[in-house]
Amino acid sequence: MITNLLVANRGEIALRIFRTCRELGIGTVAVHSDPDAKAPHVTAADAAVRLPGAAPADTYLRVDAVVSAALAAGADAVHPGYGFLSENAEFARAVLDAGLLWVGPSPESIELMGSKVESKRVVAAAGVSVLPELDPEEITEDDLPVLVKASAGGGGRGMRVVRERAELAEAVSAARAEAASAFGDDAVFCERFLEHGRHIEVQVLADGHGTVWSVGERECSIQRRHQKVVEEAPSGVDERTRRRLFEAARAVCRAVDYVGAGTVEFLVTDDGEYYFLEMNTRLQVEHPVTECVTGLDLVAWQLRIAEGRALEGEPPRPRGHAIEARLYAEDPRADWRPGSGTLHRFAVRDVRAEFEVPDRYGVRLDSGVVDGTEVSVHYDPMLAKVIAWGPDRTSAARMLAGALASARVHGPVTNRDLLVAVLRHPDFLSGDTHTDFLTRHADRVLTAGPDGTVVRLSALAAALADAAHNRSCAPVLGSLPAGWRNVPSAPQTKTYRHGELDLVVRYRATRTGPVSEDHPEVTVVSVTPEQVVLECDGVRRPFHVSRYPGLVAVDSPLGAVSLAPVPRFTDPSAELAEGSLVAPMPGTVARVVVSAGDEVRAGQPLLWLEAMKMEHRVAAPTDGVVTELAVAEGAQVEQGAVLAVVTPRESTDVEAKEEPA
C-alpha cells in the first residue's frame, strides 16, 4: 500500500493529485523551485522539499534531485503528474532503482511510446493506421503541406507547418532548437499535414492482470500552435468510428504491455478514417472531462493499479457532456505572446467543485493560482482549467462561457475572451470542431473582446471610481465630490491606456452628481471607490473597479476591460530611440542571427526569445540597418528591455548624404 506519495510536479497538477491522496488517506510530498517556494501546491502538501534554482532544467527536470527529495521526505511512491519528467523512462527507472513505487507504466513502455518515430513503427505492426514518416531531405512540392514534429515530446513544442519547400530548412532548424530546449532531444521528423481533421483521443486504463479499458474518448480539435485549448467528452464521432478507435487504443496498449492510465491520440477525417498520432504514457491535462462524464477518479485508479489492484467489470458509459477550457496568460491578438507578472485577483463564479467531479451538473475548477500568485516566465502560462458538466453539449458550452465571462482575472492578459467567443460560436455549437477552427474563424475569435463603446464606458467608470477613492483618502473635506466647484470650470480629466489606444475621460462634478462630457446620454446613477452604476438607453449596469499598481481592472456584464493609468507628466529619459525593439516578455535570448551593421528587411528574424517553454521570434519592423545589438545569446532580459535598434533605411540614407566630405 502507498502511504506517502511524492508528486514530481507543480501547480494545479500537484494539487489535483493531492486532492485524491487526501481522500484515500495517503500522505503527500511536494517539490518546489525557488520561484515556487510559496506556491499553493507547496502549502497544500504535508511536506515539501526545495529543488534549488529557478529554471526547469535545474529543478523539476533533475532526476537525481527529485528522487533524493522523495527519499529524504520518506515517500514510498512517486507520481509524475503530467509534463516535466512524466514521460521520462530514465526517471521511472531511477524511481524503481531507489526502491520506490512508480505510479505509471513501465520504463520500457514509456521508452517505446516516447519516440514518435519508434511508436509509429510499433503501432503499425499492431495493425493500427499511421501517417507515413517523411524524410525532410526527400520532401518534394507534391508532399506539401507537411508537419515538422519533435520526436521526443508534444504540447505543440518543436512543431511547424511547412507549406513552401523553401521554408522547410528553416522550419526544421527552428523545430530542432525548440525540441532540444523543451525535451533535451533535437530529433524531428515530418509527416503529411491534414488541414481539416479532428483530434480525437481515447482514455485508457490497463491493469497488471491483462485487462484494458477504453474509458471513453475526448474531442481536442480546438488548438492553437498545435496545442489544445478546448476539450470535451464525449466527442462528436459516430458510434462505428468510436468503436474502431476504442479497439485501436486497446491494440496499442497490448502491443507495448501497457499498465496504468494513458491516452492514445488519433487524427480522424470526415469520412471516418483515422491515423495514430501518439500515445501519452501519463494522465492528460484534459482528464477532468472524462472524470465528469464517467464519475471515475482517474488518479485514484492510477494509484490502485500501481498497488496491483485489478479492473473489474466494464468501464462506465458517459453521462451528459463536459467541456474544458484552458485559461492561459497569453495574448491571442499578439501571436499568442505569453504573459507574466502578478495575478492580483482570480475568482470564478459559482464553482461547484474543485479538482473533483461535482455532485450534480455544474462548474469544476482545477487551478494552481490564487490572488497574488506570480506568473513565472519559467513555466507553462496556463492559469487554470475551467470545466462545465451539463446534461447535453449546448448546456455545457453555455455554462462554461458564462463562467469564463463573469470571472475576475486581474493581472497578465489572458485568452479568456477568445475562449468565450469559441464556446458561443455557431460553428462550435453545431459540432464543426476541426483542427483548423481557429484559423478559419480568426477574424471573429482572435479579436474577441469588449468593443470600443464598452471600453470607453469602462474608462469612465474607472475615472469616477478613482476620483471617489481619492476623496475617501483625503485628509480634509473627504465628503465633497471629487472635482466639485461652486462656479463653472474646466472638466476633470483622466487618461488611461487600453492596448495601443489612449482614452481621455472628461467629466464634471455637479450638485446632482458627476456628468460625462463625452457621453451625455449616460447617467451616472451611483459612485463608490469599488463600483459605479451607469444608465445608458434606459438600462442600468454595474461596473466593478479594482485598482493595482499600474492597472485598473473593470468588470461589468458587458465584459472585462484592463486599463493602464497614464501619468500626467512623463519622464523624458524614458523615451526609446526610433527603431528600438524591446522584449515583449521576460525570457532568455535563445538565438541571435544578426550583427550590428547588418542590413535587414522588414519581417526578417533578428533573434529568438525563449519564454514559458516556447521560442518567440523578434523580427525587423522595417527595412534598415541594425545600428545596435544590445543582447547576446544566453542573456536573461526583462520585459521592455531594448534588444536591438533597427534604423530605417531612409534615415541611414539621409545620414550618409549629410556626412561631410
**Active site residues per annotation:** 282
Please name every residue paired with 159 in a beta bridge, in sequence order, or none if there are none.
none
Greatest extent of the chain over all pairs of C-alpha atoms, in Å: 92
**Would you call 305 exposed, middle or buried from its count of C-beta atoms within 10 A (0-12, 13-18, 19+)?**
buried
Strand spans (E) along 549-613:
551-556, 559-565, 580-582, 587-592, 599-600, 605-611
Contact by Cβ (8 Å): 2, 306: yes
Q: How far apart are CA 257 and CA 108, in angstroms?
A: 9
Contact by Cβ (8 Å): 117, 187: yes
Residue 629 neighbours by CB under 8 Å, 6+ apart: 592, 594, 595, 596, 643, 644
Residue type, 307: E
Contact by Cβ (8 Å): 21, 28: yes
Dump the DSSP string for 76-141.
Answer: SEEE--SSTTTT-HHHHHHHHHTTPEESSS-HHHHHHHHSHHHHHHHHHHTT--BPPEE-GGG--G
DSSP state at residue 316: P
| Grid cell in block for residue 505 | 475621460
Find how far residue 525's CA is from the centre of its chain: 39
User: Cβ–Cβ contacts within 10 Å for residue 94, how many?
Assistant: 21
Q: How far apart are CA 432 and CA 11, in angstroms?
A: 33
The radius of gyration of the chain from alpha carbons, rounded to an integer in Å, stands at 27
| Grid cell in block for residue 76 | 514510498
3-state secondary structure of 526: strand
**Would you call 6 exposed, middle or buried from its count of C-beta atoms within 10 A (0-12, 13-18, 19+)?**
buried
Q: Which of 377, 288, 372 is nearest to 329 (CA)?
A: 377
Q: Which of 154, 156, 68 is nearest to 116 (CA)?
A: 154
- Neighbouring C-alpha atoms within 13 Å toward the C-beta of 467: 25
